[in-house]
Amino acid sequence: MSPQPPLPFVPALGLASPHAQTIYASLVRPTHAPPLRRERWELPDGDFVDLDSFDGKPGAPHVVALHGLEGSSRAGYVLAILRGAAERGWGATAINFRSCSGEPNRLARSYHSGEIGDALAVMEHLRPRLTGPLFAVGFSLGASVLLRLLEETGDACPVDAAAAMSTPFDLAACSQALDGPGPFMLLYRERFLRSLKQKGREKLHRFPGAFDGQAMERARSIRAFDDAVTAPLHGFRDASHYYADSSSGPHLHAIRRPTLLLSAQDDPMIPASSLPRDVSGNPLLELVITPHGGHVGFVGGTSPLRPFFWGEARMLDFLSRQNASARPA
């Protein structure tokens, strides 16, 4: 499938650097949302996820949005998709992964880059309710979850089309990048670890012995945290096992739905060497790799004071084209 971006991505003036794109986007994305309905969806294992939804017109598409590491349905990039869906008359559902809705989940296990069961349960819950197509979008960790879901379910996937932004296709390479030198990488790493460790402490209070708390407290890197917490909580031997099992890059050929893969070559958390180079073997994939954009950034426009969030617009444009092509002539 040939890339057909509405316009080439040009960074806003003064925001050409990857860190400027990444940080500025996280600070200035609008936070207003359409009216949302909170629904608690009970999962097969006795836990739950909280969903924030609204309905579209009869027969219109419904978009499921998956947030990134330690994000939520209130993340600016998720809200941009919800607003775009509402403007088109579509419905939408933003999933809060376990422990990300503001309330601790019931079980010791949580969420991770390859955990597809919760998202799949929600999609299979939504599918019978809809009279139009079901679309899905994912950002960063949520993009990894989405692609692994598409890969694992193949022709049985409940989603009709999907779009993934800033996917960590190779989790080992991405953890190495996050654990790399420099003040910006330290900033990103500490932000994630602060939130993850706080949740880890709460889990140990409720589930003593679920993992090694001292090893968690000693962790100063993403890989060390995954070794100490993520892997044992979710049945992996160690971080290497988790990364190998959960990376989406090696399995893109298995996707059976039209899917946009949107990434930036200068993403500070995702090495350019780990991005897909050639997806021509799977005509359902549309690969868009821009020189600039940072991590879940893609801030364009004539001025930083009037930003245009090109990435979300690109994803919505892709899904609109899939909707148009699916309608009878």
Q: Which residues are catalytic?
A: 140, 267, 295
Q: Are 21 and 294 in contact (CB under 8 A)?
A: yes
Sign, CA torsion 116/155/66/77: positive
Residue 294's CB: how many other CB atoms inside 10 A?
Answer: 29
Report the distance separating Cα 296 and Cα 306, nearest Å.
Answer: 18
User: CA 307 to CA 179: how far, in whole Å?
Assistant: 30
Task: Report d(CA 257, CA 153) in Å as an integer.
Answer: 10
Instruction: Enter the tokens of residue 328.
Output: 């009878």
Cα 263 → chain centroid: 12
Nearest to 288 by CA among 25, 15, 4: 4
C-alpha span between 155 and 136 (Å, rounded): 16
CA proximity to 222, closest of 287, 162, 266, 177 = 177
Residue ranges in the chain assigned as alpha helix (H): 18-28, 76-87, 117-126, 141-153, 171-178, 183-206, 213-218, 222-225, 231-233, 239-246, 310-326
Nearest Cα to 50, choosing from 116, 98, 108, 83?
Answer: 98
Q: Following DSSP, what letter does each residue of 190-243 receive, concatenated?
A: HHHHHHHHHHHHHHHHHSTTSS-HHHHHH--SHHHHIIIIIHHHTT-SSHHHHH
